[in-house]
Amino acid sequence: MRFRTHAIASLLSALALVALLMLPTTGATADTPPAPPGWSAAWATSLYRADKFPAPNWSDGGFSNHTLRQVVRVTEGGVAARIQLSNRHGTAPLRITGASIARSASDAAIVPNTLRPLTFGNAGSVDIQPGTDLLTDPILFPLAPFDALTVSLHIAEATGPATQHSQAIETSYRAVGDHRDNTDGAAFTETTQAWYYLSRVEVAGVAPRTSGIVTFGDSITDGVGSTADTNHRFPDELAELLAAQGNPRAVVNLGIGGNRVNVDSSWLGESARRRFAQDVLTQPGISTVIILEGINDIGLSAGAPEVGEPPAPVSADELIAGHRDLIAQARSRGLRVIGATLLPMQGSPYYSAEAEAKRQSVNHWIRTSGEYDAVIDFDTALADPDAPQRLAAAFDSGDHLHPSDAGYTAMAHAAAAVK
């Protein structure tokens, strides 16, 4: 009887896995629901155009006869995987000539016996139309939480300006020609810290998982100020902490440096209100969103002349109205929505008496209104006890706005403590 029960369970597991591998591969949009149960987001990023982003970036020139190799770390495991690619902000079809996936070794090197081709409707190449996302075919590719993956894309034809994420805090690599199968990484002589076209890694197990967390915000969620290539962003640290506490959950990072709740920008991304549906509501397998947004609405009210960003004054009341809109959007899909207070900023270029008054007003509303399902008080957790308008020295990356690695760890502990 025990043997028969085990055999039946194994057969059911196998059949469930086959069903998962047959799920549709077309990408979700803001107007369609996420993927069917079974697939869940294990890594994701927000993609946009950055016409004037000051850091070195391949976005404007795009790619032509290049292989682009990108490293990401998943926060949830599974027995199968598929990759979402995006031409969301392109102006012409994006032709992917070929793609591969492998476990990461170090830098641009991969573990040779893990290299697998990625396909698109069983084809080795694909055209992704402007404004659209596309999922690869699923492949059997067992993963554990916190495994690092390397995705390589060969792009033979000129792309023009590329859909990208400017502040990956992770090194990406480029080589001339088709080097998808290169294992030692020696061909990849160019580097930058941005991601291109890669928007999500999905994993599947035998049982559906729907407890994932989206962290939604600006450069602080993005991890600016943390050490590159070390996964010290607070969402990464939160995933590690939850796993260590026996409550493993996928945590995906949908932050954009400089992003604002109410203001669109050609180099800081669409406003939080505008991008929320695409970036958050299409993520499969999630139940919770943590919102940390607004410091840029306050700090950039006077504009940023050095990059041509015009003044866009935003009041505390307008910022609160924006948060209410985000809460309503989250609840429209049944998500638990957690608000996070804005961090101290005295000593940064954003600080003034007027700006501080706005920050205090918004934080008071987040803490006391009861409109969020729960609140993470990052402000209190990272403030200098003797000067609470400033970040504590140990938590300050040096610009008095973005946390250090220790600051991001403190944020993760504050987030994990909220039930």
pLDDT of residue 146 exceeding 60, the answer is yes
Residue 59 and residue 159: Cα distance in Å, rounded? Answer: 10
- Whole-model pTM: value is 0.91
Q: What percent of the chain has pLDDT over 70?
A: 89
Which of 41-50, 71-80, 243-252, 375-384 is predicted least confidently? 41-50
Average pLDDT over residues 202-223: 92
Nearest 5°: the CA angle 328, 401, 252 is: 45
pLDDT per position as a tens digit, 248-296? 999 999 999 999 999 998 778 899 999 999 999 999 999 999 999 999 9
pLDDT of residue 197 exceeding 90, the answer is yes
Residue 250 and residue 365: Cα distance in Å, rounded? Answer: 29
Instruction: Using DSSP bridges, classify how beta strands 286-292 and 336-340 pair: parallel, antiparallel or unpaired.
Output: parallel
Residue 293 and residue 415: Cα distance in Å, rounded? Answer: 15
Mean pLDDT, the chain, whole residue set = 90
At 198, give phi and psi (nearest 5°).
Answer: -90, 115
Residue 185 and residue 179: Cα distance in Å, rounded? Answer: 9
Instruction: Using DSSP bridges, classify how beta strands 98-103 and 116-118 pair: parallel, antiparallel or unpaired.
Output: antiparallel
Residue 101 and residue 62: Cα distance in Å, rounded? Answer: 21
pLDDT per position as a tens digit, 97-121? 999 999 999 999 999 999 999 999 9
Residue 38 confidence (pLDDT): 87
At 319, give phi and psi (nearest 5°).
Answer: -70, -40
Residue 107 Ramachandran class (φ > 0 left, ψ -120 to 50 alpha, else beta): left
Average pLDDT over residues 210-232: 97
Residue 261 and residue 363: Cα distance in Å, rounded? Answer: 15
pLDDT per position as a tens digit, 342-362? 999 999 999 999 999 999 999
Residue 417 confidence (pLDDT): 97
Average pLDDT over residues 371-394: 98
pLDDT of residue 11 exceeding 60, the answer is no
pLDDT of residue 29 exceeding 90, the answer is no
Res. 13 pLDDT band, cuts 50 70 90: very low
Amino acid symbol at 25: T
Q: Where are the alpha helices (DSSP H) in 245-315?
A: 272-279, 295-299
Average pLDDT over residues 36-56: 79
At 73, give phi and psi (nearest 5°).
Answer: -120, 125
Residue 314 and residue 298: Cα distance in Å, rounded? Answer: 7
Average pLDDT over residues 414-419: 95
Residue 286 confidence (pLDDT): 97
- For residues 55 and 151, the model is more confident at 151
To the nearest 10 degrees (0 to 180), the angle between helices 234-244 and 405-416 is: 50
Amino acid symbol at 290: I
SS3 44: strand
